[in-house]
Copies of this chain bind each other. A is one copy, B any other.
Amino acid sequence: MSTALLTDHYELTMLQAALASGAAHRRAVFEVFARRLPAGRRYGMVAGTERILDAIQNFQFGDQELEFLRDVIDRPTHDFLAGFRFSGDIYGYREGETYYPGSPILVVEGRFAEAVLLETIVLSILNHDCAIASAAARMVHAAGDRPIIEMGTRRTHERSAVAAARAAYLCGFGSTSNLMAGLEYGIPTAGTAAHAFTLLHDSEEAAFQAQLASLGAGTTLLVDTYDVAKAVQTAVELAGPALGAVRIDSGDLATAAIEVRRLLDDLGARQTRIVVTSDLDEFAIAALAVAPVDGYGVGTCLVTGSGAPTANLVYKLVTREDAAGRLSPVAKKSVGKPSRGGRKWAYRALRDGTATAEIITRAPAEDVGRPLLAPLVRDGEIIGRESLAAARARARASMSELPPIAHSLSPGDPAIPTIFNWSWETGA
């Protein structure tokens, strides 16, 4: 499937006009960054880089795309696109790194013509995946050692759901309900039954019996279709103390969990776990920390970014070749939307293993901190692939190097400052 038309019209009209003026062939550098984090957030989490590499691989204009574009662009542009492959370089933050205002998450270098064409697809992927990952990371931290199942598929677009499951798993969710995410990314999938299954049968007992017979005593029984206490009793009577788990999906979850735990223990089902679901977000998860809960299922709030459904990342031209062939920094002066010209490098400064600052420089620097920009594409060739497992391990490491304030759920400033250290420009 070509990704080339998952693109804004104006990328192609800009290309057309720049091909005509000759400026299309100028070398250019675009950077992706966030002017600010969503209100009150302490850090952002990078996700989507690997999906960008997939998208670039499929970014070509085939017969169908070219036929459609006949009415959009002129003949020279059409001819240019017919053979188009991105041939530049891309550097980027690795998935699972945290980011802050101004962090140059992705740096795209090439001719203007090719770098401008990637703008829309790059932003779509990063704005979605970073938004989900940034919410997921907060939920994972709030859940502590308790596993979280991602189950938001039904609350978002059917393909966003797959990317959301991936972003959540990357940040430490244990599994997803989404089968396509299992097929495409090898993420563990999970799920047992809904209220409809209980209602389908002639009694709750008959439904539990059917589920246990088919899925085994290790299954999770949903106990809030009618009366929770009665359902728990029925569940343990039928399954015995080997019952895997019960799920509560309504009511005040803390109160319900305490009652169900007492009941399960009284019935001898001390190993049976309690899973809670029902519009959980990071705040609700944190509030349940003292309740006898063994796992969480999170849906709506995960796939909608828990109040911040887009990361609001932008893709800005920061350097380009001028008429004399020199690379020179550029920046617009629009009111309230300034940007910083010049190609940038980024480092994470640490003290005793704890992040202290995001250092942005205008030239490669030494001994400033961990370099954050990794080579992803060189001369059009993808060289930066890595496994989802590696990204997941990095997310865990990144979160553990954050200062404690980063994990506060109350609104506040970014956990570490972004320091634009232009002294590195001259090597000073």
User: A residues touching B (Cβ–Cβ < 8 Å)?
Assistant: 1, 3, 5-14, 16-21, 23, 26, 28, 30, 55, 64-65, 68-69, 72, 74, 112, 116, 119-121, 123-125, 127-128, 151, 153-163, 177-180, 182-183, 189-202, 206, 209-211, 213-215, 219, 224-227, 249-252, 300, 303-305, 309-310, 312, 315-317, 320, 322-323, 330-337
Query: What is the distance, in angstroms, from A218's C-beta to the closest C-beta of chain B?
Result: 12
Residues of chain B with a CB closer than 8 A to A163's CB: 157
Measured CA separation A2–B14 after assembly (Å): 36
Residues of chain B with a CB closer than 8 A to A125's CB: 157-158
Query: What is the distance, in angstroms, from A287's C-beta to the closest C-beta of chain B?
Result: 17
Whether B304 contacts A310 by the Cβ 8 Å rule is yes
Residues of chain B with a CB closer than 8 A to A189's CB: 9, 72
Nearest 6 A-B pairs (CB), nearest first? Answer: A10-B191, A9-B191, A21-B210, A123-B154, A251-B335, A250-B334
Measured CA separation A21–B157 after assembly (Å): 33
Measured CA separation A16–B121 after assembly (Å): 39
Whether A249 contacts B8 by the Cβ 8 Å rule is no
Residues of chain B with a CB closer than 8 A to A128's CB: 156-158, 160
Interface centre among A13, A123, A336 (most CB of B within 10 A): A13
Cβ contact of A5, chosen from B183, B192, B224, cutoff 8 A: B183
What is the oligomeric copy number?
A: 2
**Quick one: closest B residue to A129, CB to CB?**
B157
A334 and B179 contact, Cβ closer than 8 Å, known pairs A18-B200, A163-B157: no
Measured CA separation A10–B252 after assembly (Å): 24
Residues of chain B with a CB closer than 8 A to A215's CB: 13, 16-17
Whether A68 contacts B183 by the Cβ 8 Å rule is yes
Measured CA separation A310–B279 after assembly (Å): 12
Residues of chain B with a CB closer than 8 A to A334's CB: 195, 224-225, 249-251
Residues of chain B with a CB closer than 8 A to A1's CB: 1
Query: What is the distance, in angstroms, from A275's C-beta to the closest C-beta of chain B?
Result: 12
Whether A213 contacts B250 by the Cβ 8 Å rule is no
Whether A197 contacts B227 by the Cβ 8 Å rule is no
Measured CA separation A197–B20 after assembly (Å): 13
Whether B250 contacts A336 by the Cβ 8 Å rule is yes
A154 and B127 contact, Cβ closer than 8 Å, known pairs A214-B21, A310-B303: yes
A14 and B333 contact, Cβ closer than 8 Å, known pairs A157-B159, A158-B125: no
A154 and B119 contact, Cβ closer than 8 Å, known pairs A178-B8, A210-B17: yes
